[in-house]
Chains A and B, each alone.
Chain A
Amino acid sequence: MEQEFRIEERVDDGVPVITVAGEIDVASAPQLREALHKVIADGHTTVVLDLLAVTFLDSTALGVLVGALKRCRELGGELHVVVTDPRIMKIFEITGLTKVFPIADSLAAVTAS
């Protein structure tokens, strides 16, 4: 059974954290794009994207992440991604995006960095 797609936003110590659960694909990626656009439009240049509960990711989702990363960096910030699922990591690896995104295995690791 596929897990329901959910997005939650909060701010930790002034940094927005967007937590996503379920499958991010061509159908749900626009919601993620909208959430990322909103926090960046609100003036945040550094964003943490928590993908720990994501079960599937396709190229549409990666395109949204790359677009948001570019916008954050243009503004002098960063888009941190938190991932541990080997299936999700594999998608980052085969597209070469492990060299592009700062990827951490926990929210605590992002804070520590």
Chain B
Amino acid sequence: MSETESGGSDTLRVGDRVELTFPARGDLVVLARLVTSAISARAGFDIESLEDLRLAVGELCLLALQGSDARHGDLCLEFTVAADVIDITCTLAGAGPGSRDAEDTGEADQLSEQILSALVDEYGRTQDDGAVRAWLRKRRRGHLA
């Protein structure tokens, strides 16, 4: 039985959910990465996967911010630990249409999707009623799809 399954005090158990909400500012995306490292470690991911998730979550935030004026919005990250996977959703609410600091962003958006494709098992983005939701799923090594 893994530490995660045994539910030690420094681990996250199956079904545990963690939320982090912060103003949708670029200088605060570092918070998402820091929290992702801590949660991934407690969910039983190895160091390499933890680094992958840290990078992927930054890209997930950027994916949610694509094409939005986020100056007045909030990013809400939700982490859910399951038996063999971690699901992370990033919701941007309260932001109007617009664009990020325009230069180089088209190139960066394409690179962002390449990074997500390489680092996680699944990812996507939906938009409903002004709220953008980007999500990813990563399996622990040794678990088949």
User: Which residues of chain A have a CB within 8 Å of any CB of chain B?
Assistant: 2, 23, 25-27, 30, 33, 56, 58-60, 62-64, 66-67, 87, 91, 94-96
Contacts and interface: CB of A to CB of B under 8 A. Distances in A.
Interface size grouping (class) on chain B: 20 to 34
Interface of chain B, helix or strand or loop or mixed?
helix
Nearest to B28: A27
Interface of B: 25-27, 29-30, 33-34, 51, 55, 58-59, 61-62, 100-101, 103-109, 111-112, 114-115, 118-119
Tell which of B51, B100, B111, B112 has the most Cβ of chain A within 10 Å.
B111
Contact of B104 (A2, A58, A66): A66
Interface of chain A, helix or strand or loop or mixed?
helix
B104 A91 contact: no
A106 B96 CA distance: 45
Contacts of B103: 33, 67
Contact of B115 (A23, A66, A87, A95): A95
A96 B111 CA distance: 9
Contacts of B61: 26
Given A87-B51, A94-B114, A95-B115, A26 B104 contact: no
A23 B81 CA distance: 28
Contacts of B104: 33, 60, 63-64, 66-67
